[in-house]
Structure 1
């Protein structure tokens, strides 16, 4: 059996499996899914998924929606940004990662209440780090 290693982007052990567990929880129970709009961009920001043009908008989106679900208008706007021909995913691995205060391993899936609280704390930490650390949002560093 292979020993799990820490992610070179966020330092979480079994990082991708934990992210997929979050997605499974989001789609299997509406009480968990109320923070799905935070899970995907937070993980993406931490892992350098987004271009330097898209990342600041996603940071803003996360910060604006930490304590509230997006409206239909908000959803349309974020889809307009991330769907279609405009590139939002970065090419290549980006710059070296920073030492994040929180990562997907801090998300507690034991109950919906714990899940929502820990996703919000993780999202706030990542978005605020990206908002105050030049270049971190674009490259997961």
Structure 2
């Protein structure tokens, strides 16, 4: 019996996979760098939403919308991670959360191709890494914005 050929592209984001690494593997490598080295961790607030938005099966439909808004706030409004934590805490004190990021109706796969994916992120050194993460997050945001303008 022959072994099935490995997928060459991620079914969620379309990223080019290798025999050694999937998107999930690369995400875990990114998390290991970001959580152990502050120079890499400087872009953690971009990595998580960009990955989750491109890997829709991780989120509920409402969670996907919330994550898109969070990425927008970080990139466009320039909200810092510390300020985002404050805003979320304030909101939780005044409003009952009406949805779950992960539970409920699942997010649908975006109908557009991804311009960049986590597989485009180079892990070489913090400067290259941070520039790649920022460019990837901006591409994810721009892909969403272009799609929403057309809808």
- TM-score normalized by structure 2? 0.72
Matched position secondary structure for 1:45: helix
1:5 maps to which residue?
8
Q: CA deviation at 1:10?
A: 1.0
Matched position secondary structure for 1:114: helix
Q: Which runs of 5+ in 1 are unaligned?
A: 135-141
Q: Which has the higher contact order (CA 8 A, sep 6+)?
A: 1
The answer as to 2:32 corresponding to 1:29 is: no
Structure-2 change in CA distance of 1:6 and 1:93 (3 Å): farther
Structure-2 change in CA distance of 1:128 and 1:78 (3 Å): farther
Q: CA deviation at 1:4?
A: 5.5
Structure-2 change in CA distance of 1:96 and 1:66 (3 Å): closer
Choose from 49, 59, 62 the match for 1:41.
49
Structure-2 change in CA distance of 1:95 and 1:72 (3 Å): closer
Separation in 1, partners of 2:81, 2:140: 22
Aligned 1:40-119 pairs, distance under 5 A? 40-48=48-56, 49-66=58-75, 70-78=80-88, 86-89=99-102, 91-92=105-106, 94-95=108-109, 97-119=111-133
Q: Computing the radius of gyration over CA atoms, which structure comes out larger, 1 or 2?
A: 2
- TM-score normalized by structure 1? 0.76
1:137 maps to which residue?
none
C-alpha contact (below 8 Å) 1:108/1:118 kept by paired residues: yes
C-alpha contact (below 8 Å) 1:9/1:97 kept by paired residues: no
Q: CA deviation at 1:126?
A: 0.5
Q: Which runs of 5+ in 2 are unaligned?
A: none
